[in-house]
């Protein structure tokens, strides 16, 4: 599972200066966040290449082994959320291939944002914080970080001060906000510049959150 992911893409309408790679959650696909682009109303939207990869189709243990798009297997539903670490590492390798594809187009790494929702957020965080070149920022929504122990040894010096945006619904029945807050606290303890936001919603995205994501992306994709 190390081949290049298939993607949904929105090319820039002007000169390509920036890239945003956005990962969906369990059971969804690359089209899931395609519609968020106009809602963000980003200052530099015309210069951004948006990439929405499809996760591989694989059996998911907590769903009775049913095959669906998933970035990794979830082995049990608990606050510990035992997961498939090797599957996470495989998806991280594939996401790194997508980043390298943007670099090959001439985009500097500091003009690339990773974003992800739920499972996709975990992959965006782990990949971004272990990537060997400086990224612009990471957006992690309604997610957690099951690879914190690995991150302690594999973290990238280049991304030690990369801006992180984390947000969660206070009534999330899928990913308990407590595991999201735990990930935030662990990253803050590791001295990452991580921002935390929470909203009165379930496992979803709301307009206030979209506005704050837009403010974050506008901030980290300033001309350098």
**Is the pLDDT assigned to residue 17 strictly greater than 90?**
yes
Q: Can you say how many angstroms the Cα of residue 169 is from the centroid of all Cα atoms in its chain?
A: 16
Tell me the CB-side half-sphere exposure of residue 30, using CA atoms within 13 A.
16
Q: For the chain, what are the domain ranges?
A: 7-220
Give the residue-averaged pLDDT of 43-56. 97
Model confidence at 4, pLDDT cuts 50, 70, 90, reads: confident
Bigger pLDDT: 193 vs 74: 193
pLDDT 10s digits, 105-162: 999 999 999 999 999 999 999 999 999 999 999 999 999 999 999 999 999 999 999 9
Active site residue 73: no
**Is the pLDDT assigned to residue 52 strictly greater than 90?**
yes
**Is the pLDDT assigned to residue 57 strictly greater than 70?**
yes
Sign of CA dihedral 73, 159, 131, 199: positive
Give the residue-averaged pLDDT of 77-98. 86
Q: Which listed residue (19, 91, 109, 118) is catalytic?
A: 118
Q: Above pLDDT 90, what percent of the chain? A: 90
Q: What is the pLDDT of residue 71?
A: 97
* 132 Cβ contact partners less than 8 Å away, ≥ 6 residues apart: 156, 158
Residue 60's DSSP bridge partners are 66
Q: What is the mean pLDDT of the chain?
A: 94
Is the CB of residue 116 less than 8 Å from the CB of residue 33?
Answer: no
Q: Which residue has the tokens 């975990």?
A: 122
7-220 topology per CATH: Rossmann fold (3.40.50)
Q: What is the pLDDT of residue 83?
A: 80
Q: Which of 124, 129, 142, 138 is nearest to 190 (CA)?
A: 129
* 89 Cβ contact partners less than 8 Å away, ≥ 6 residues apart: none
Measured CA angle at 153 (ends 151, 157), to 5 deg: 80
**Is the pLDDT assigned to residue 25 strictly greater than 90?**
yes
Active site residue 118: yes
Q: Which listed residue (32, 84, 90, 172) is catalytic?
A: 172
Q: Which residue has the tokens 């999330």?
A: 172
Model confidence at 2, pLDDT cuts 50, 70, 90, reads: very low
**Is the pLDDT assigned to residue 1 strictly greater than 90?**
no
Q: Which listed residue (54, 156, 203, 204) is catalytic?
A: 203
Q: What is the pLDDT of residue 76?
A: 77
Sign of CA dihedral 95, 165, 144, 28: negative
Give the residue-averaged pLDDT of 38-55. 97
Report the predicted TM-score, pTM, of the whole model to 2 decimal places: 0.96
Residue 114: φ, ψ to 5°: -105, 140
């Amino acid at each position: 599972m190390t081949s290049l992911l298939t993607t949904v893409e929105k090319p820039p309408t002007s000169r390509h200066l920036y890239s945003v790679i956005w990962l969906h959650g369990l059971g969804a696909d690359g089209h899931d966040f395609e519609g968020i682009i106009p809602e963000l109303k980003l200052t530099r939207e015309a210069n951004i290449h948006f990439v929405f990869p499809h996760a591989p189709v694989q059996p998911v243990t907590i769903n009775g082994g049913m095959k669906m798009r998933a970035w990794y297997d979830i082995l049990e539903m608990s606050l510990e959320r035992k997961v498939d670490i090797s599957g996470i590492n495989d998806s991280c390798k594939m996401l790194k291939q997508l980043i390298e594809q943007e670099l090959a187009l001439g985009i500097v790494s500091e003009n690339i944002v990773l974003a992800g929702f739920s499972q996709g957020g975990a992959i965006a965080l782990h990949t971004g914080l272990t990537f060997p070149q400086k990224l612009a920022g990471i957006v992690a929504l309604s997610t957690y970080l099951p690879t914190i122990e690995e991150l302690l040894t594999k973290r990238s010096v280049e991304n030690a001060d990369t801006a992180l945006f984390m947000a969660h619904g206070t009534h999330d029945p899928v990913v308990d906000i407590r595991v999201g807050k735990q990930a935030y606290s662990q990253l803050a303890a590791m001295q990452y510049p991580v921002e935390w936001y929470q909203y009165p919603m379930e496992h979803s995205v709301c307009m206030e959150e979209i506005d704050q994501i837009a403010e974050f992306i506008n901030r980290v994709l300033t001309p350098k």
